[in-house]
Structure 1
Amino acid sequence: MSTTSLTRRTSLSAAIGLVLTLAVSACGNPSDGGTAEVQGASGTTTKINLGPDQNRVTTAKVDSIAAKVPEKIRQRGTLEIVDSSGSAAPLTFYATDNKTVIGVETDLAYLVADVLGLKPHVNTVSWENIFVGLDSAKYDVGFSNITVTEERKDKYDFATYRKDDLAFESKKGSGLKIAGPEDVAGKKVAVSSGTNQEKLLVEWSKENEKAGRKPVDIAYYQNASDTYLALQSGRIDLFLGPNPTAAYHAATTGKTEVVGTYSGAGASLQGLIAATTKKDSGLVEPLAAALNQIIDNGTYAQVLKRWGLTDEAVKRSEINPPGLPRTNK
């Protein structure tokens, strides 16, 4: 078996764990303030709080780490966090009041702010404006399922905190199975613009053309609800997005299914999600130290567990590790 095949299979096996955790059964329970119950194959159930009163996991300030934060931010007293919300459960999405941003990304950002002794202030913007705001120093750090890529490392510093796996989602019962470029040849696949999953899909399409196969028919939609309507109506065959989002959606709606997974960094590298800050801002080291603090004290594991994402845990936060290659082959 080739190294590429082995890596793909390893990535698939790891991601299947999350799909099984989420996909066996799920239901909403608005009578107790809004929850989603997701039952795994083992019979254990993760009850996810969808209400605005999150009772978030908290942790103590660590003075030695807080002292490393750039003085301008310390004097301000807030950590300006930026994310891209919408309906990307369980990553970042709106609670049942349609205004409170919740999710695993938000919880982890709050924990990091705790360690740094700063008040978290979440700014919700469109995906592209995350980077515009980081570039202008309007925001300090992005917590929004941002993948480490070699191209992004030219402009940003990264402190990793979760594994990154992508998923192909189809209408339930489609019979599709996606393991590589040949399986999406000629298929109409929706993807969000400017994401690493778009980069992967573009590379796969080029690979198909070089091999004499049909290219991928790539489709772009403004929001997830439009994408899922297109999937249900048969206007698209597949949707490529973050694995946690796809698994959660499939579990809680029962209308779709995950038909293939892939590392967000390509065939030869495990993708990683990271806190993202402007390059040389002076913030990446305290961010990584804060993330390692919550990993060590157990609050990190508590947050991942409450969102059903234990399988995406990392052992340590790394600063600027190898990312998605400029050419994803």
Structure 2
Amino acid sequence: MAGDTHPPYRTLEEDGSITGIDPDLQALLSKQLGVPFEIQTVSGMEAILTGMNSGRYDAFNGPLRTTPEREADFDAIVWMTTITSYVYLAERADELSDPEALCGSRVAGVSGSVTESQLARYADWCTAEGLSTPEFVGLEDTNSTFLAVNSDRADYAGTTQTAALDLQAAEPDRYEFLVQSEEQGAGIDQLALVTPKGNGLAEPLFAAFEAIFENGEYEDLMKEWDLTQVAVDEPLLNPLTSK
């Protein structure tokens, strides 16, 4: 499994171990399949997707938005949703807490991620309101986007709502965030575990997901990580191209 650093999905601890939602989910899937999972840390979405296509990695659990174009190259198993959020320093709340403030601002995000496409929709809203469009600052991983905000290389860090909540919980006095509204182009995107077409893993992985939904372990996992607001009723395999 390829995996970049993206708390609370994957957090690289001081001892080199990886904790988070993803390894916990992998443990449940491993129990169903009877095979071990190993996370290999990779920086950058392009490197992850290229590595899967070359056979270096068998799968990646995002957070990654599924699209018809992506499902042409990868099998996607949707197991949660998300809404894009924009993190900023609490000390700048007076100037950045208004949704219109994001227009014309610098927004750091992971290149190729859902944030980049969501920000483009936000930019359309800004234009319709007669405001300047935001500038996307593409970076390799989520930690880099938060560091950009801390160092004033960006005003906001665009990320999943899950990551924004996790960051604010860890440092409640340091960060606040905006949630992109439906009016501003936010859709509740479907997030998926992806695996290359033809490697034979999609069907057994999907069956393993179905099993942990049925036995209640998925629900328990989402409650443990306080993710019930982005949980789904059932896993979906290639939902945008299978119809």
Superposition map of 1:275-294 within 5 A? 275-294=193-212
Measured in 2, the distance between the counterparts of 1:278 and 1:229 equals: 32
Measured in 2, the distance between the counterparts of 1:274 and 1:262 equals: 22
Asked if structure 2 preserves the Cα contact closer than 8 Å seen for 1:231 and 1:237, the reply is yes
- Residue 256 of structure 1 aligns with an amino acid whose one-letter code is Y
Superposition map of 1:229-248 within 5 A? 229-248=147-166
Measured in 1, the distance between the counterparts of 2:141 and 2:202 equals: 31
Measured in 1, the distance between the counterparts of 2:57 and 2:147 equals: 33
Secondary structure at 1:142's aligned position in 2?
coil
TM-score by length of 2: 0.85
Q: Deviations over 1:169-225 (max 9, x none)?
A: 11115144466xx55321111111111211221343355447653121222344545
Change (3 A) 1:275 1:225: closer
Secondary structure at 2:46's aligned position in 1?
helix
Change (3 A) 1:210 1:196: same
List alignment gaps of at least 5 residues for structure 2.
Answer: none
Superposition map of 1:230-269 within 5 A? 230-254=148-172, 255-261=174-180, 267=186, 269=187
- Answer with 143-152 or 218-227: which moved more: 218-227
Which of 214, 228, 231 in structure 2 is aligned with 1:296?
214
Change (3 A) 1:223 1:124: closer
Change (3 A) 1:290 1:223: closer
Aligned length: 235
Larger radius of gyration: 1
Secondary structure at 1:119's aligned position in 2?
coil
List alignment gaps of at least 5 residues for structure 1.
Answer: 1-80, 324-329
Q: Does 1:117 align with 2:34?
A: yes
Which of 52, 70, 93 in structure 2 is aligned with 1:134?
52
Measured in 2, the distance between the counterparts of 1:259 and 1:93 equals: 23
Query: Which residue number corresponds to residue 83 of structure 1?
Result: 3
Q: Deviations over 1:301-328 (max 9, x none)?
A: 22222322232221110111139xxxxx
Change (3 A) 1:104 1:245: same
Q: Does 1:107 align with 2:18?
A: no
- Give % identity: 27
TM-score by length of 1: 0.64
Change (3 A) 1:322 1:177: farther
Q: Does 1:158 align with 2:158?
A: no
Measured in 1, the distance between the counterparts of 2:29 and 2:193 equals: 10
Asked if structure 2 preserves the Cα contact closer than 8 Å seen for 1:169 and 1:256, the reply is yes
Change (3 A) 1:93 1:216: same
Measured in 1, the distance between the counterparts of 2:116 and 2:156 equals: 13
Measured in 1, the distance between the counterparts of 2:197 and 2:149 equals: 38
Asked if structure 2 preserves the Cα contact closer than 8 Å seen for 1:177 and 1:260, the reply is no
Measured in 1, the distance between the counterparts of 2:214 and 2:98 equals: 37
Change (3 A) 1:322 1:262: farther
Change (3 A) 1:152 1:253: same
Higher relative contact order (CA 8 A, sep 6+): 2
Report how far residue 153 of structure 1 moved.
1.3
Report how far residue 233 of structure 1 moved.
4.8
Secondary structure at 2:236's aligned position in 1?
coil
For the aligned residue pairs, the C-alpha RMSD in angstroms reads: 2.4
Change (3 A) 1:209 1:106: same
- Residue 92 of structure 1 aligns with an amino acid whose one-letter code is R
Report how far residue 294 of structure 1 moved.
0.5
Asked if structure 2 preserves the Cα contact closer than 8 Å seen for 1:82 and 1:142, the reply is yes
Measured in 2, the distance between the counterparts of 1:84 and 1:270 equals: 22
